[in-house]
Structure 1
C-alpha cells in the first residue's frame, strides 16, 4: 500500500482548550479525491487547519506529506506547506497586485529564484486553469469564477501533493461551482495530487461521486452519504 498523503490516528482537533473533534481516524491516499462535509461549526475548518498546521495537533498522531504533525515547529511548518496547495472561499488574492505578481509573490516566498523558471511556471498554471490572457489583470477586474481559478492556479504553483479546498464554491453560482470542481478534479488527476474538498453543497456530491468524510457530533465518519 502506498504511503498516505494524510494519516490521522486517534487525533484530537482543538481550538484552544476546547476539543472540536476527537479520536479522528483519516487516511487519504495519493491522488485520491475526498469530500469533507458537515454543518457550519461541525469542525471542518478546524480539521483542515490542523492538516496544514495552522492549529497544533491536539492529541493522537498525524502525518501529512510524510511529516509528523506533532513534531512540527516554526522552522518546519513552511516545509510542509510547500507540499500543499490551499484554496479558500474568499480567494485571498492580493488586491493591489495583478495576477502575475500574485503568483510571483508565492514563488518568491517558497524559494523560486527570479528568471525563466518563474515565468514558465506562471504560464503553465494560468494555461492549466484556462486564463493565460489574464496575466496582467488586476483581481478586481476578474469575475468571481475567474478569481477562484487564479486562486487555484496559485495553489498549483509548487506541484502540491495535496490540495485543500475550504468551501471554495460558496461564493459561486451552481454552474460555475460545477465547472470549478470539474477543473480541480481533472488537473489533480493529471498531476497526481490528492484533494480534500470541504463543502456544504450536497448537490456537488450527487454530480461528482467520491469518498465522503463527515464531521458531526464531535466525530469524523468515513462513509458514502446517501444524498
Structure 2
C-alpha cells in the first residue's frame, strides 16, 4: 500500500514465507462493504444500537455513502477491526483448517476504501507435486470437494433480490436517467481517485499507525556485504 518501495518490501516478506513454508494453500480477497456496515456508521458517529440494528435506521445507501466518504478515520477503524476479527476468529480459529501462517497486504481500491489480499498456509504436509499426484485418487478428490463445500459458502438474500427487481420495474424513465447520470459521475470520480498517490483512508491508516499488512510472523532485516 502506498509507495513502490513499501510494495517491494511486502513482496520480499511474502517470498521469505514461501521459502520457509512452501507455497500458500489459499488465496483470499476480503473486500468489506463499509457503506452497508452498521459498525462503520457507528464509528462515524451515527447513533446506533449495534445489538439491535433495524433496516429503517440505517438510512439510504446514498446517505451512508456520504457519511463513509466524509469519515476516513472511521472507515479505517472499521476495516482494521473487521480484518483482525476475521483473522482471529475464522483464519486462526480453524474455519478453513488448521493454519500455520498467513500474510495479508492492504490495498486501496478505486473508491478509496481498503481491501485485503490474503495468503494462507494450512497445516498439511502436501507439496504441490504431491497434491497433483493425490488428486488422481477418487477418495482424495471426494474429501477435497467435501472440504471446499464446507468452507466456501454463499448466501443470497432472496427477499431483497425480489424487492430490488420490483423496484426497478416501477421506476420511471426520469429516475432511470438520474440514476445513470449518478453512476457515470461516480465512475468518473473513481477513475480520477484511482490515479492519485494515496486515498484519504490510506492517509488515515498511516496517521493511526496501522500496518499495511497483517501476519503472525516477525521479520528481522539483515544486511549482507560481499567482499572480493
**TM class by smaller structure:** under 0.3
When normalised by structure 1's length, the TM-score is 0.24
When normalised by structure 2's length, the TM-score is 0.24
Highest Rg: 1 or 2?
2
Instruction: Compare the two structures and name the one with the higher helix fraction.
Output: 2
Instruction: Compare the two structures and name the one with the higher strand fraction.
Output: 1
